[in-house]
């Protein structure tokens, strides 16, 4: 029994990370019909912005391979999370203006290459500033294993899970209840119509990219204490998150979140059977989903009226 609870818990912890990033994919897709393929680099970039802030706030400037535990006190860590979100969000505006907007609405797939390219630039910039070595980041909640019904979990994993759920609920409320959210959904539905209704479509799209990239930056700082910050860490997570988004349905933010969690738990469960088959099972599932439900598992069920 312990084993299954452990599998579920470990899966949810990883799934929370996937869900958070998958949400970012969904936000830009629903508003601009484009995806930010530099999302992975934004995660790594965000993690290192967070590391830099932790070091600066605690008066340490030297390059280290591990941030000392006392540097990650609750307020410093919160500040680093917010700081990384803001910096990554600003970079998101840049990527929209430089790499997406010139190609948006013109047909073709130029934005795929330009966002990928932006990611490569971001990574090279990061390598020049921070170097290739990974940096271990301590959790603000300490590192002692917590026991839940016999299964072990680290405080940071619960924090990621809690943050993921909190951010998703908040975004869901904003999207469905506020004027901004309704404007975003209107733009998603039809930019032309939204524009005729007096909605500033460009501004909404900029906002969507800022939000999506900001989420990636926040995710980077949240994952760093689990996976250690590295400029190469984002790609793997982003690919899995994108897979989760496809499984859940790119056009449905809630579906993306479910997709992320499903993927995390599935990976963990496959590990109980044959870990080396994990990727085959995951991507096999994606092919099945695309074949039978091209809009994703939750893609069609959520028809919203704006």
Partner 1 sequence: MTPHYTALKAALLGSALALSSAAYAQEIKIGFNGDLSASPSAQSGQAGVLGIQAAIDDINAAGGILGRKLALVVRDDLSQPPKSIQNMSDLIDNEKVVAVLGPTNSGNALAWKHIPNQKKNPSIGCIGSATDITKPASPGAENYMYRVSMVDRAQVAGLIAYAKKNPATKNVGFLVETTGYGQGGLKDLQELAEAKGLKPVAIEKFGVNDTDMTSQLNKMKAAGVDTVLVWAQGTPIGQLVRSMEKINYFPVTLTSWSSDNASFFDTAGKTLAEKPIFMRTITEDRTPKQQQLYDRLAPKMASKSAFSFAAHCYDALMITAAAIKQAGSTEGPKMREALESLQAPVEGIMKTYNKPFSATEHEALTAADYRWTHWKDGKLVTYSDDVVKTLQPSDFAQ
Rule CB under 8 A: which residues touch partner 1? 2-3, 6-7, 10, 13-14, 65-66, 132-134, 136, 143, 145, 151-154, 226-228, 233, 236, 268-272, 275-276, 278
How far is it, in rounded angstroms, from Cα 2 to Cα 149? Answer: 7
Choice between 61 and 65, CB closer to partner 1: 65
Minimum distance between the CB of residue 128 and partner 1, rounded to whole angstroms?
13
**Non-local CB neighbours of 15 within 8 Å, separated by 6+ positions:** 244, 260, 261, 262, 263, 264, 265
Minimum distance between the CB of residue 22 and partner 1, rounded to whole angstroms?
17
Nearest to 302 by CA among 197, 185, 166: 185
Choice between 4 and 90, CB closer to partner 1: 4
Cα 8 off chain centre by = 21
Nearest to 129 by CA among 190, 166, 87, 162: 87
Choice between 119 and 207, CB closer to partner 1: 119
Minimum distance between the CB of residue 161 and partner 1, rounded to whole angstroms?
13
- Report CA dihedral (30, 255, 9, 267) to the nearest 10 degrees: -90
> Which residues on adjacent β-strands are paired with residue 136?
66
Which two structure tokens, joined as six digits, stand for 162? 């809690």
Choice between 102 and 150, CB closer to partner 1: 150
Choice between 204 and 270, CB closer to partner 1: 270
Minimum distance between the CB of residue 45 and partner 1, rounded to whole angstroms?
17
Provide φ and ψ at 285, rounded to 5°: -60, -40
Minimum distance between the CB of residue 122 and partner 1, rounded to whole angstroms?
19
Cα 163 off chain centre by = 12
**Residue 155: Cβ-neighbour burial (10 angstroms; 0-12, 13-18, 19+):** middle
| Intra-chain end-to-end CA distance of the chain, in Å | 45
Write down the residue that tokens 């630039």 correspond to.
121
Minimum distance between the CB of residue 13 and partner 1, rounded to whole angstroms?
7
Choice between 117 and 271, CB closer to partner 1: 271
| Start-end of H helices in 33-147 | 39-57, 74-95, 110-130
Helix pair 155-177, 201-227: axis angle to 10 deg: 170
Minimum distance between the CB of residue 50 and partner 1, rounded to whole angstroms?
16
Choice between 76 and 240, CB closer to partner 1: 240
Minimum distance between the CB of residue 153 and partner 1, rounded to whole angstroms?
7
Choice between 21 and 194, CB closer to partner 1: 21
């Amino acid at each position: 029994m312990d084993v299954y609870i452990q599998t579920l818990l470990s899966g949810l912890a990883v799934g929370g990370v996937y869900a958070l990033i998958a949400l970012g994919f969904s936000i830009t897709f629903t508003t601009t019909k484009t995806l930010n393929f530099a999302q992975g680099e934004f995660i790594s970039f965000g993690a290192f912005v967070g590391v830099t802030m932790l070091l600066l706030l605690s008066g340490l400037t030297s390059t280290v391979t591990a941030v000392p535990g006392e540097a990650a006190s609750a307020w410093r860590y919160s500040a680093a999370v917010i700081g990384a979100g803001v910096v990554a969000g600003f970079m998101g505006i840049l990527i929209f203006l430089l790499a997406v907007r010139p190609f948006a609405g013109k047909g073709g797939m130029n934005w795929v290459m330009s966002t990928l390219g932006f990611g490569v630039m971001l990574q090279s910039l990061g390598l020049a500033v921070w170097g290739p070595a990974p940096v271990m980041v301590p959790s603000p909640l300490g590192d002692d294993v917590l026991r839940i019904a016999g299964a072990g979990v680290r405080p940071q994993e619960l924090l990621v899970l809690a943050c993921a759920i909190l951010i998703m609920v908040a975004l869901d409320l904003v999207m469905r209840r506020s004027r901004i959210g309704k404007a975003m959904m209107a733009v998603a539905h039809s930019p032309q119509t939204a524009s005729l209704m007096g909605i500033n479509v460009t501004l909404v799209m900029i906002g969507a990219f800022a939000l999506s990239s900001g989420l990636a930056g926040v995710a980077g700082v949240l994952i760093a204490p689990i996976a250690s910050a590295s400029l190469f860490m984002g790609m793997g997570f982003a690919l899995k998150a994108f897979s989760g988004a496809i499984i859940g349905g790119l056009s449905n933010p809630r579906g993306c979140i479910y997709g992320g969690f499903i993927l995390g738990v599935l990976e963990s469960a496959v590990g109980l059977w044959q870990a080396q088959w994990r990727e085959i099972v995951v991507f096999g599932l994606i092919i099945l989903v695309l074949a039978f439900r091209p809009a994703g598992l939750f893609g069609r069920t959520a028809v919203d009226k704006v």
